[in-house]
Structure 1
Amino acid sequence: ISTLRVVISINIIISASTHSSSVKGKERSLTLPAEAKSSLFVLVDTKAVLLCPPDNSTAFLVIWTISPRDQPPCTRAHRRDNNETSERNCTDERISWESRPDQNPALQIDPVAITHDGCYRCEVAAADGLFGHTYYLRVLVPPKVTLFRGSDGTIVCRAAAGKPSAQIFWTPEGDCHTEEEPLGNGTVTVESKCRWEGRQVSNVSCSVSHVTGNKNLNFTLNQGVITLEFPASDLLIILYVKFSLFLVILVTVGFIYFKKANDCRISL
């Protein structure tokens, strides 16, 4: 049993002595309901409100234990009997009571940051028992998605600094290589490079799947890339046609020039 639970239990016993009642000569006993647990996913830079159930008129003590990942825990408490609020080791100003704790013991985080990942536990001591709810808070960060041509000629789809990591899909499928790079703050950059050699592809699409939403980007391959993707036989045909057109134009221009020069001599 944690120190906080011991303190709360003592307060329950003391308070129960003033709130207890007798039924057929037997004192009403305190019960400890099963604690509720839930996962809470919150988008970064938004406001999160964590409720502290239940709405019990006999509650006289509320304690929040805030344990962000890789940080020391912080404790916020409120006693209704003397309207006293206290805190210990709480330095993050973004975490506070949503309103007056004597009216609403909910906790708020505004705005939510990546560092707020962690465990948030609410304990309520009331005349009829000890109630608790633990939230496992997970902060979601949408990735920044870009689609561009890399220095090596590949088409690159990048989902930068997302949490959790994103998934990348290509249409049409190509010769692709995908890598993930953890950034140290819980976010991950995913980068996929693709080629479509040997195929007549003019447009490609990159689809990024993420829990915060999906994105699709299109890329039009330029003429140079398309030409490089033709087979060698097709390249020879294209070169032959271009050379033939050049000869036809050259002969036509030459014929017109010499004809005009000959007409000038006759008129003289």
Structure 2
Amino acid sequence: MWTLLRTSTLRLPISVIIMVSASVNGSSTDKRQRKLELPVEVNTSLSVPVDTKAVFDCPPIPLTSVVVTTWQIILRDKLSCTRAYRRDRNETKEGNCTDKRITWASRPDENLALQIDPVATTHDGFYMCQMVTPDANFHHGYHLQVLVPPEVTLLQSKNGTAVCRAAAGKPAAQISWTPEGDCVTEREHWANGTVTIQSTCRWEDHPLSNVSCSVSHVTGNKSLSLELSLGLIIRGFPASSLLVIFYVKFALFLVIVVIVAFIYFQRINGCRKAL
């Protein structure tokens, strides 16, 4: 199997779909026959974390056998970009290539790989290496999806609910709760392809001391817990209501103390005047 991506640069789970469209009608030597039996076209689907370096390899054809190599890059909402190298003239050309982060990985006369450094969400697209040799033409295409880990937060809101938010993830994250509650989930799509998921939950029927929010994403899972000193919902009352009741009772206690002290001092003063 061909080497699809340099493991020293980026280790990624790769699913490969091989489409063989070459047939062998005979050859003059065993070496020529082995070349023609290689897959002529290979497509690879892969996912790359944002802000990393990615390197894409061409088919493993000896450089001395390659006449022309062309990288075709098709990105979302942009013109197709091409980078080409002609070996006999040691000459490179490019067309409509404005992204300076997409370059040859090295000198084309030594290495025909393409690199992106660093990877951004705008690099979602299709990258194909086309190699022309005297024996046949070979193609290796990469369907690239850029992954963005979401920013996860868990907060207690004023109205007695808990809010778990997985902001700007790509693809969208999934949120679950422990224990399960009465939840409402909202989704917001952004122009760069990321998605924010927000889940708001309440637990009206159970006294709780803490709740946990679990966020599942292809870049990694994350779990956050919220400690509730008075309980998020206790016997149907939100924590904010309990705080109000506490402060009212404390204020009444202070008023009673002041009144008792006033009466006490009045009696003492009355006794002194009688003497």
User: What TM-score bracket applies, with the shorter chain setting the length?
Assistant: 0.7 to 0.9
Give the superposition deviation at 1:168.
0.1
Give RMSD over aligned pairs.
Answer: 3.6
- Residue equivalent to 2:188: 181
Q: Does 1:219 align with 2:198?
A: no
Paired residue secondary structure (1:115): helix
Larger Rg: 1
Contact 2:45 2:142 in 1 (8 A): yes
Match of 1:54 among 29, 53, 60: 60
Q: Deviations over 1:181-202 (max 9, x none)?
A: 1112211000000001121111
Across the two proteins, how many residue pairs are aligned to each other? 237
Question: How far apart are the structure 1 equivalents of 2:89 and 2:130?
Answer: 18
Question: How far apart are the structure 2 equivalents of 1:146 and 1:129?
Answer: 54
Contact 1:124 1:130 in 2 (8 A): yes
Paired residue secondary structure (2:106): coil
More helix by share: 1
Contact 2:160 2:233 in 1 (8 A): no
Question: How far apart are the structure 1 equivalents of 2:154 and 2:101?
Answer: 35
- Residue equivalent to 1:91: 98
Contact 1:143 1:166 in 2 (8 A): yes
Question: How far apart are the structure 1 equivalents of 2:233 and 2:42?
Answer: 59
Give the superposition deviation at 1:228.
5.7
Q: Deviations over 1:99-129 (max 9, x none)?
A: 0111110000011111110000101111221
Match of 1:69 among 67, 73, 76: 76
Residue pairs, 1:1-268, within 5 angstroms: 31=36, 34=39, 35-56=41-62, 57-223=64-230, 225-227=232-234, 229=236
**Structure 1 residue ranges, 4+ long, deviating more than 6 angstroms after superposition:** none
Percent identical residues: 61
TM-score by structure 1 length?
0.75
220-229 vs 177-186, greater mean Cα deviation: 220-229
Q: Deviations over 1:39-94 (max 9, x none)?
A: 12111111110111123231121100000112110000001111111111111100
Question: How far apart are the structure 2 equivalents of 1:68 and 1:162?
Answer: 20
- Residue equivalent to 1:8: none
Question: How far apart are the structure 1 equivalents of 2:37 and 2:132?
Answer: 10
Contact 1:32 1:129 in 2 (8 A): no
User: Which segments of 5 or more consecutive residues in structure 1 lack a partner in the other structure?
Assistant: 1-20
Point out which structure has higher relative CO (alpha carbons under 8 A, 6+ apart): 1
Q: Deviations over 1:214-244 (max 9, x none)?
A: 111111224274446369xxx9xx99xx99x
TM-score by structure 2 length?
0.73
